[in-house]
Amino acid sequence: MTTPSMFERVLVVVLGAGLLASAVASVELHHRTRQTFTAHEREADLMRRLSDDRSELLMKVHRASLPGNIAAGAAELGLKGATGANTVTMVQEEDGRIVWSEETLARLAAWNAEQAEKEKKAAEKAAERAKRQGAPR
């Protein structure tokens, strides 16, 4: 058997050190990969739970916005339910502005005319009363 030369011994040591370093790096890479996968699974689970919570909240909002629930809530607070007489309609124009609908504008004009008529009658009654009080008996 021949003894290895100094070059062969150094080469074996260097290659052995490289092999050891490669093995340590491989184990460390596997460990980091496993940690990343575990973190991804935790985040995916959190996303599923948040998505479920979002769906549940949306369902609650839709359920709460049903007309029957709104009317019941208003009745609990002692309020009247929404009707055509006490509701206004607004529309969004092409430029993005929100304005009264034509129907609502007509109802507002009629209400304003009615209020003006009431004020006119009240003023006439007040003038008539003042006239009666100012006249000698």
Structural domain count of the chain: 2
- The answer to whether the CB of 88 falls within 8 A of the CB of 104 is yes
In this structure, the answer to whether residues 64 and 94 fall within a common structural domain is: no
96 Rama class: left (phi>0) / alpha (psi -120 to 50) / beta: left
Q: Looking at the DSSP assignment, which residues form a beta bridge with residue 100?
A: 90
In this structure, the answer to whether residues 111 and 79 fall within a common structural domain is: no
- The answer to whether the CB of 71 falls within 8 A of the CB of 82 is yes
In this structure, the answer to whether residues 80 and 106 fall within a common structural domain is: no
Residue 95 CB neighbour total at 10 angstroms: 5
pLDDT in tens, 51-63: 999 999 999 999 8
Give me the mean pLDDT over the 71-91 stretch. 81
In this structure, the answer to whether residues 7 and 52 fall within a common structural domain is: yes
Q: Of 57, 84, 111, which closes a domain?
A: 84
pLDDT at position 126 over 70: yes
In this structure, the answer to whether residues 64 and 118 fall within a common structural domain is: no
Q: Of 41, 60, 84, which closes a domain?
A: 84
In this structure, the answer to whether residues 67 and 104 fall within a common structural domain is: no
In this structure, the answer to whether residues 78 and 62 fall within a common structural domain is: yes
Enclosing domain of residue 112? 88-137
How many Å separate Cα 43 from the centre of its chain?
22
pLDDT in tens, 6-28: 999 999 999 999 999 999 999 99
In this structure, the answer to whether residues 74 and 94 fall within a common structural domain is: no
In this structure, the answer to whether residues 49 and 114 fall within a common structural domain is: no
- Cα(78)–Cα(82) distance, integer angstroms: 13
